[in-house]
Amino acid sequence: MKSTAGAARPAAGSAGPAAMARPGGTTTRSAAALPQPDALADDALVLGLDVGGTTMKGEITDADGTVFAAATVATPQGEAAFEAMGAVGDQLLAELTAEQRDRVGRAAVVVPGIVDPVESIAVFSSNIGWRDVKVGDRFSARWHMPVLLEHDVLVAGWAEWRFGAGRGHDNVCVVILGTGISGTLSVGGRLLRSSYGQVGEYGHIPVRAHGLPCPCGNIGCVETVASGASIARAYTRRTGREIDGAAEVFALVDTDSDAAAVLADAVDALADGLIGIVHAACPELIILGGGLAGAGAALTDPLHQAIADRLRLVPAPHVVLGEYGARAGLTGAALFARQGALE
């Protein structure tokens, strides 16, 4: 595949037996309650929009992944982000010819935080600063097409499992490593999802009893040691030298003992956090995505060894890089719009 980039909303109060309480006292429903639109025809175009804490990226692509229009803009804080999403879609559609515009069959908008795709609500994003934003039909009415709403990491992990590095495997754990750490888990050929509209919060598994405080309120979470920002801060604390980010620490690992020590600690924390998941689900693969996955073998090899060293009863999963890298969310949005469901 080349590089690439709504469902009807039930009436308020229509949640049935599948309804689950979520933080704040409102409800969300399991994935089984989601409508299942049909896949689009091969000649259809799709609009995918991946909203991140810093930037949002959008593309219009065909079934081969050929890009017809693309845009990247800064993500505003708060509810202003939703107007920016609409404007990005407007811009992308305006770049098409009339014939191409008629071929755009569906869009998918993937956002961070907690998401209720059944009720079409962006429940909460701590990084961008929105809470309980009713998306409803604002994008479908604006762009004159069905628009799907989902969680960005859920869609990225699904794409890596079904179409990327995990294709052909039924049991796969995808870990997205960047400013935060989260991911997905597929077991027995099914993508698991939280009833709260979240993904696997691997970064908030406590692994250091006397570690650093985490913004989530806990102590010693995986993210306090193994996220990109935490790696950079740990190197600065150890050496007194300011650096641009975790990539610089990885670049120094073969020549700088301080960099090697910081990364060894990060790998150990990540392995400690994942080991329970490995015992519980026995994934065949752990796929690494996000910005830190750019470290390549300097990350995958020691993480595989660290996990293997901790196991006695179950086989060690292979640790591999995702095929889509930093584009996993955007690629996943396009694939989700085309397929119509996370299957």
Is 6 within the bounds of a domain? no
Work out the average pLDDT over 68-80: 96
Do residues 173 and 317 both lie within one domain? yes
Do residues 203 and 258 both lie within one domain? yes
Beta strand segments in the chain, E: 19-21, 27-29, 45-51, 55-61, 67-74, 104-111, 114-116, 121-125, 130-134, 147-151, 172-177, 181-187, 190-191, 285-289, 318-321
Work out the average pLDDT over 260-283: 97
- Indicate the range of 35-39, 89-93, 208-212, 274-278 predicted with least confidence: 35-39
Q: What is the mean pLDDT of the chain?
A: 88
By residue range, what is the domain housing residue 191?
Answer: 168-322
Work out the average pLDDT over 199-205: 92
Do residues 98 and 152 both lie within one domain? yes
Q: Looking at residue 194, which CATH number applies to its domain?
A: 3.30.420.40
pLDDT tens figures, 180-195: 899 999 999 999 988 7
How much is the pLDDT for 176? 93
Do residues 313 and 331 both lie within one domain? no
How much is the pLDDT for 36? 64
pLDDT at 24 over 60: no
Work out the average pLDDT over 275-295: 94
Is 116 within the bounds of a domain? yes
Is 309 within the bounds of a domain? yes
pLDDT at 22 over 50: no
pLDDT at 75 over 50: yes
Do residues 132 and 190 both lie within one domain? no
The reported pTM is 0.85
Is 1 within the bounds of a domain? no
Q: How far apart are CA 145 and CA 97, in angstroms?
A: 17
How much is the pLDDT for 184? 96
What is the count of structural domains for the chain?
2
